[in-house]
Copies of this chain bind each other. A is one copy, B any other.
Amino acid sequence: MTAAAAQPSGPAGPAVLDLSRSVAELTADLVDIESVSGDEARIADAVEAAVRRHRSLSVRRLGNVVIVRTELGRPERVVLAGHLDTVLVAGNLPSRLADGRLHGCGTSDMKSGVALQLRVLELVGGGTLDPAVDLTWLFYDCEEVESARNGLNRVAAEHPELLAADLAILLEPTDGTVEGGCQGSMRAEVGVEGRRAHSARSWLGSNAIHAAAPILQRLADYSAREVAVEGLTYREGLNAVFISGGVAGNVIPDRCEVTVNYRFAPDRSEAEAEAHLREVFDGYALTVLDSAPAARPGLDRPLARRAVAALGGEVAAKLGWTDVARFSALGVPALNFSPGDPNLAHRADESVELAQLERCEGLLVAFLRQGPDASGENQGRTEEEIATD
């Protein structure tokens, strides 16, 4: 792994973050602190050191998770959550500016989102922004790897009270739009047994791969639901993602396994999703491999509706799984919103558009400044303020 953080103190020393820099500069600073999953100590140290300069905010450090809270006594609380880790660096560090975009590992997923979190924190901590709600900032590790290591997951399990809120905004890439809730995801293995034999005397065996034909036919014939939940349309999908079978080039195979991935709408629980799979694959052995619940968008709550209105007015269903589901499981409605482009995530040519970054910062600050009787009239003022930042 190449250390490529462009910090004055060099990659081996502590990284320093100056939260007064523009959101674009701050994104570049964060990108240049390499933080592949499992290696987030240095970026978490930098975030912790930067936020601790605001004495009005309470700061907790749990492993490589940094949790910052206001305690302003507001009637509602909003969580701004983002992960500090990235996928493996693909020769795309340090960051570079070109064509109005910042390029590099994590620019889109999701250090631009973390920069937005930190900009809001700087404005609130410095007194420039007096928020209408109390705020919780969550900076966490290991989102890009297995769920058991996920920092948000650990906090949810060990300190669920720290996640309590009336709305969570997860700054995962949405290309500047609001996406509500998320699909659930279940992976299951559907297996068929046969009986081995030499392929020269195949009639002595029973071919498990041939016996898998109806499984694939059911998948090919499957008609996926489109489900409206709280006004958003979730489109489901049921797909084979792996198939394997075979012992040797001259042996009738005695086993064939099809791994399916079911993406399901938030009107179904994980138990209901499993029951549906067992119905589709009736007659076959089915084992659930892993599962993550769907999340409702929470648009039945006034605060979520206000957020949508302030963040652009449009909202779509999140067609994918994100950590919003962890908030949803705790009863906290959650939206996805950030300047990153989901189609560029995890790619060597990952980048983020600077204009989108500025726009999202303006919208987010405007939302947080609004009171419960938001009319949107503050938005212009906020953008002006941002422009002179």
- For the complex, give the distance between the alpha carbons of A316 and B242 in Å: 42
Asked if A209 meets B243 with Cβ closer than 8 Å, knowing A200-B237, A202-B237, the reply is yes
Query: Interface residue tally of chain A, by bracket?
Result: 35 or more
A253 close to B249 (CB less than 8 A): no
Cβ of A128 to closest chain B Cβ, rounded Å? 38
Contact call A245/B242, Cβ cutoff below 8 A:
yes
Q: How far is the CB of A301 from chain B (nearest CB, A)?
A: 25
A259 partner residues in chain B, CB cutoff 8 A? 246, 249
* Residue from the set A239, A261, A320 with the largest chain B CB neighbour count within 10 Å: A239
- CB–CB B200/A263 < 8 A: yes
A212 at interface by CB-CB < 8 Å: yes
Is A129 an interface residue, CB under 8 A from the partner?
Answer: no
Known: A202-B237, A202-B239, A203-B235. A213 touches B213 (CB 8 A): yes
Report the nearest B residue to A290, measured CB to CB: B249
**A118 on the B face (CB < 8 A):** no
A261, B382: Cα distance in complex, Å: 70
Does the CB pair B261–A199 fall under 8 Å?
Answer: yes
Q: Which residues on the B side are within 8 Å of A77 (C-beta)?
A: none
What B residues does A247 contact at CB under 8 A? 241
- Is the C-beta of A240 less than 8 angstroms from some C-beta in chain B? yes
Interface of A is mostly: mixed
A198, CB-defined interface residue at 8 Å: yes
- Checking B237, B244, B251, B253 against A203 with a beta-carbon cut-off of 8 angstroms, the contacting residue is B237
Stretch of A134-142, A151-159, A216-224 contacting B (4+ beta carbons < 8 Å): A216-224
Once bound together, how far apart are the Cα atoms of A249 and B240, in whole Å? Answer: 9
A257 — nearest CB in chain B belongs to which residue? B243
A258 adjacent to chain B (CB < 8 Å):
yes
Inter-chain contact A209/B320, CB cutoff 8 Å: no
Residues of B within 8 A of A242 (CB): 209, 245-246, 249, 253
Find out whether the CB atom of A319 lies under 8 angstroms from the CB atom of B209.
no
Distance (whole angstroms) from the CB of A107 to the closest CB of chain B: 19
Q: Roughly how many angstroms separate A50 CA and B347 CA in the complex, as a whole number?
A: 68
Q: Please tell me if the beta carbons of A200 and B321 are within 8 angstroms of each other in the complex.
A: yes
**Which residues of chain B come closer than 8 Å to A117, judged between CB atoms?**
none
Query: What are the interface flags for A317-343 relative to B under an 8 Å C-beta threshold, 1 for contact and 0 otherwise?
Result: 001110000000000000000000000
Apart from A187-B249, A199-B261, A207-B220, list 10 A-B contacts with CB within 8 A.
A183-B200, A199-B263, A202-B224, A209-B239, A210-B220, A210-B240, A240-B246, A241-B248, A243-B243, A249-B259
21 contacting pairs across A/B (C-beta < 8 A): A185-B200, A200-B237, A200-B321, A201-B319, A202-B237, A203-B237, A207-B239, A210-B216, A211-B220, A212-B243, A213-B217, A213-B219, A217-B217, A240-B253, A241-B246, A241-B250, A242-B249, A243-B246, A244-B244, A244-B246, A249-B261
Q: A residues within 8 Å of B by Cβ?
A: 183, 185, 187, 198-203, 207, 209-213, 216-217, 219-220, 224, 235, 237, 239-253, 256, 258-259, 261, 263, 319-321
